Amino acid sequence: MKRAEYKVPGGKLIAAELGVEGGRLVGVKITGDFFMHPEPAIIELEKAINYTSFEDLEDNVNGFFKDNDVTLFGVEAGDFVKVIKLALEA
Amino acid sequence: MKETWRLIDMRIEDAPTQMAIDEAIAMARLKEGTPNTVRLYRWNPSAVSIGYFQSIEKEVNLPACEEHGVDVIRRITGGGAVYHDYNGEITYSLVAPEADPKMPADILESYKLICGAIVNGLARLGVDAEFKPVNDIDAGGKKISGNAQTRRHGVILQHGTVLVDSDIRRMFQVLRVSDAKISDKLIQAVEDRVTNLRRYLGRQVNFDEARVALIKGFEDIFDVALEPGELTDAETRLVKELYEKYSSREWVFQR
């Protein structure tokens, strides 16, 4: 399991825990003290990220926020990509 | 005549009960036609509540909680970890429909309005506090209140903490602070970031004085009369069901 956390300057903390199997992300878990409305959307976001290749990560995350009516405070869509990339480097 | 909201005043309950009551009121508000409700409450035993998205292992020093008899619970709201000190903290909650004419549709605006009731209440105690977006209230540059909101069932539920005389040393025994947060240059040492009514005012503030001020703050900001009431039978049934969820390991340890 790889893990990284990132404190958004002036915002909230976001962390990612994940594994890698055959070039794909697995077991992705996102945590932090940010706000996401509706809250259970986090589970859908994790599903959208799971089993994606590194190349597709950014498109999948951006696609998720484009397709779903989700409101964020303290983090932005790009911060999810950023913290997952940090975890991959960990 | 002034609009009347229900006040459920200073119930002292354990962590799963308090969280179950907040959610039950939110669930019943439109379905059962219950009134808009403000609660003030205290947690016994003292408890740590963590935000919906937080990692329990990373945020909470579980052995320290065990040692000191501190409960640990996960909220349905996002945001950070809070130490609810039985002897030094008041929690409030507010439930109103999203469509209520007094409630802004915009989430940030509604934080500002509801936190305004706390700021108004604190001013009555002599505290010059201000709302710090997204969800904090500061006094003298230090946090005195943290707040969290969810919108479910067509309803706004916001709850938050007002630090009265919390044991700040114990707070940092039971909470873990992440390295990333400490290393963020914008954040000073955590101890320097938190205050409470006693520290700020340099005098003891008892719970009764604080609760009266907070009640007036809500009445003033929302232009309502808060009338003491109890949970309905339907809400009490919901509390029993939700208690099971909130006290389950599956819920508390899900992240």
Q: Residue B187: which pLDDT band, with cuts at 50, 70 and 90? A: very low
Hey, which bits of chain B come out as E strands?
Answer: 3-13, 37-43, 47-50, 71-74, 82-84, 89-97, 129-132, 136-139, 142-152, 155-163, 224-228
Non-local (6+) Cβ contacts of B163 within 8 A are: B88, B89, B143, B144, B145, B194, B195, B196, B197
Where residue B43 sits, what CATH number does that domain have? 3.30.930.10
Residue found under tokens 């009369």: B225
Q: B76–A13: do the CB atoms touch at under 8 Å?
A: no
The predicted-structure confidence for B109-156, as pLDDT tens digits, reads as follows: 999 999 999 999 999 999 999 999 999 999 999 999 999 999 999 999
Q: What residue numbers bound the domain in which A39 lies?
A: 2-89
Whether the CB of B184 is below 8 Å from some CB of chain A: the reply is: yes
Q: What is the CATH number of the domain that holds A18?
A: 3.30.390.50
Percent of chain A whose predicted confidence (pLDDT) is above 70: 100
Of the candidates B53, B107, B150, the beta carbon closest to that of A31 is on: B53
Binary contact (A39, B150; C-beta < 8 A) = yes
CB pairs under 8 A between A and B: 69
What pLDDT was estimated at residue B186?
42
> What average pLDDT does range A3-24 have in this prediction?
95
The dihedral over CA atoms of A41, A47, A48, A50, expressed in degrees to the nearest 10, equals 150
Domain span holding position B100:
3-252
pLDDT tens-digit readout, B125-138: 999 999 999 999 99
The number of angstroms, rounded, from the C-alpha of B154 to the middle of its chain's C-alpha atoms is 20
Please, which residues have CB within 8 angstroms of residue B239's CB and are 6 or more apart in sequence?
A: B17, B20, B21, B24, B231
Count how many domains chain B has.
1
Complex prediction ipTM: 0.96
